Structure 1
């Protein structure tokens, strides 16, 4: 994976996780209508046409990933991810901070949960699936912690705002989940061992590979956006970073 520097934006680089997942985000009117068309977002949308881009900013020993769009019809976290990138680009960060705002641009374009009929949060353990390629990027880049951000609808799984985690074999997943949940006021869903409930979730496969990870859920109907859902997802992302001493509110006020 070869990262390229972006001259227009200070301390920002990008690469592709894969080149077969691209899509035109602008065709999803619900999603596109909530994206500010500034220079950075236009650049991200353009790169998403050709595959799944991953962006890097900052510099330091610790490496963190903010991931969204594993389910293309869960829109609020994808917009929140863009907002967070816009807040932090050009800021002085003492960590390597990676972003994948659109894990599957094709799915986001079509407002679909699956990618080519495959649920990416049930297939991260399957060689060469899109979510497995994201996992491989996590391992190859030696990312230390992963936050995977989703939305959930009423009467679905889990159907309420929460943070998924496991206690083994990556115990810091559980600690991180409790921190985020306390910060934003939601529930913790924890399993004794990663992947014991079902196989293939990005969070679980990361934890099984000794990369502590959590899945954060906000309440929002699939394929739609309701008032406050973007802000709640953004609050989860900020709390995830605050666990590692990155205070985004302070950065914005400086």
Structure 2
């Protein structure tokens, strides 16, 4: 067996140490769109256990410690936003959003997709429904709130559709796997929801006028601003993950992207 010259070995060791100190380029295009909401979502058993165990997922979890993370895929003119974790105790949609990020990473798409898997990571980390004692999905019309930040991002970036993904507990409202939408003033909300309902096998629950039944809801505030939006629900107990709920939520997200011609 040939001996490696000491000088050559020294060079190899030096090179290895240098490479280990070089920062690895991020696999994801990441923005923190709201600060003060950061949390370690990996402390939530269901988020940690059911999310894909990949380097992409690790990067998502790390970003969530800094605040509300938004991940961008593609650079086309047609832009959409996928939002999950408005309620930190509705876990299937957030897990599905992490799965979606893994799917979109490195994939060619037609347009631009913004994905916010945890609107309030600190709430998701402890399965809390509230933010500062308030329901985040009733204050999207209040400036300075995390949910209103989504409306601002959608408006400023020319987003053409917003999908807000949740879960609903058995016996709650709506209490079943469904797509919620409104007809007025943004009829596109109804058309989009109808397609998503058929594609994903979810019930269709339309309201006539945005802001009447759910004032301050992210979907309604977006529709009132002229940005077509829907709310997608899967049936699962709060703070837990029902069998099949992550797959169903993911299917709803795929339906949202397909309707908008992204994939």
Task: Output the TM-score relative to the length of structure 1.
Answer: 0.91
Q: Which residue of 2 aligns with 1:7?
A: 25
1:234 to 225, 246, 250: 250
Instruction: Specify every segment of 5 or more residues in structure 1 that has no aligned partner in the other structure, as ranges.
Output: 1-5, 248-254
- CA RMSD, Structure 1 to Structure 2 (Å): 1.2
Kindly tell me: are residues 246 and 134 of structure 1, through their superposed partners in 2, closer, same or farther at Cα, counting changes over 3 Å? closer
Q: Per-residue displacement from partner, 1:53-72 (whole Å, max 9, x unpaired)?
A: 11101121100111100001
1:107 to 108, 113, 123: 123
Instruction: Specify every segment of 5 or more residues in structure 2 that has no aligned partner in the other structure, as ranges.
Output: 1-23
**C-alpha contact (below 8 Å) 2:137/2:216 kept by paired residues:** yes
1:18 to 16, 20, 34: 34
Q: Per-residue displacement from partner, 1:192-237 (whole Å, max 9, x unpaired)?
A: 1101113110000000000000000001111001211100000100
Q: Which residue of 2 aligns with 1:169?
A: 185
CA distance in 2 between partners of 1:130 and 1:59 (Å): 24
Aligned residues, how many? Answer: 240
State the shift of 1:113 in Å.
0.8
CA distance in 2 between partners of 1:91 and 1:30 (Å): 27
2:136 to 104, 111, 120: 120
Moved more, 167-176 or 137-146: 137-146
Task: Output the TM-score relative to the length of structure 2.
Answer: 0.88
Name the SS of the counterpart of 1:33 in structure 2. Answer: helix
**C-alpha contact (below 8 Å) 2:52/2:98 kept by paired residues:** no
Name the SS of the counterpart of 1:15 in structure 2. Answer: strand
Q: How does 1:189-204 map to 2 (within 5 A)?
A: 189-204=205-220
State the shift of 1:244 in Å.
2.0
State the shift of 1:163 in Å.
0.6
